[in-house]
Amino acid sequence: MKVAIIPPLGGVSLAEGDYHLILPQYIDSYKRSHYKLFYQETEGYKILDNGAAEGKLASNDRLMEVACEIAADDIVVPDILGDAGASYRLAMDFAHIAEDYDWFNYIGVVQGRDRAEIVQSIHLLMDVEYIKILAVPRHLCQKVHKYIRYDIVEALYEEIKDRFDSIHFLGSSAWAKEPVVLSDLPMARGIDTSFPAYMGMEGFKIGIDPWTPRPRKYFKETLTPEGERLARENIDKYRMWAA
């Protein structure tokens, strides 16, 4: 399973690799930035997030503008955290845009407040023809239980294996070693995370020090030499967990 590192704005080199997730709120069409230039020039597979998990859902027009700017491969379809019905309606409203920009791949985000709603969400997304990839977000682990992402994909595997091309896991949960089990799922393509980077920047080693939430100042933090060293060690370990 591939890992997309979500870096701080001043440390985009931490995201070097062949699998990326880009946050649209940090791409300014009228200003140069290391963040924008890195993702415009880097090689590898590029997923454009919609910003919802960060509380900054991009408009449809802006999402497509950024997707073209960075030459994205996949676009995460707009969704509403925790609301399966509203997310489905947003996905349906987005259909005419997906048709106009049919060279992109589109990722539908599974939502819900409990197991039943999560199952319902997956079945609703199965009816949205342009969606070829499923995304299962980390907040489901907080709302339901820490094993829900593995359990739900395993339970519905026979139903979804011929409908969707693959599954991406949006964000890493407080269960630090979750990628060890997620990587065993046949449809698991990748996961994005800032966890190993921010832990290293804070002086912690993953797998040794306990999980802590991402600092609010993370994206604007300065990457020190020691912080970068620990972050890279953590990233290597996290990639090993996901392999």
- In the chain the first and final C-alpha atoms are separated, in Å, by 5
- In sequence order, which ranges of 94-147 are alpha helices (DSSP H)? 95-100, 115-126, 139-143
Query: Which CATH superfamily is 2-242 part of?
Result: Queuine tRNA-ribosyltransferase-like (3.20.20.105)
Residues 6+ apart with CB under 8 A from 197: 5, 6, 7, 8, 11, 14, 231, 234, 235
Helices 115-126 and 148-155 meet at what angle, rounded to 10?
Answer: 50
Q: Which two tokens stand for residue 62?
A: 């802006």
At residue 29, the pLDDT reads 86
Report the distance separating Cα 5 and Cα 200, nearest Å: 13
At residue 30, the pLDDT reads 87
Q: What is the pLDDT of residues 10-59, one digit of tens each?
A: 999 999 999 999 999 999 988 999 999 999 999 999 999 999 999 999 99
Reported as half-sphere exposure (CB side, CA atoms, 13 A), residue 95 has a value of 10
Closest CA to 94 of 76, 114, 69: 76
List the domain boundaries for the chain. Answer: 2-242
pTM over 0.95: yes
Provide, rounded to the nearest whole percent, the portion of the chain with pLDDT above 90. 98
Closest CA to 219 of 29, 49, 11: 11
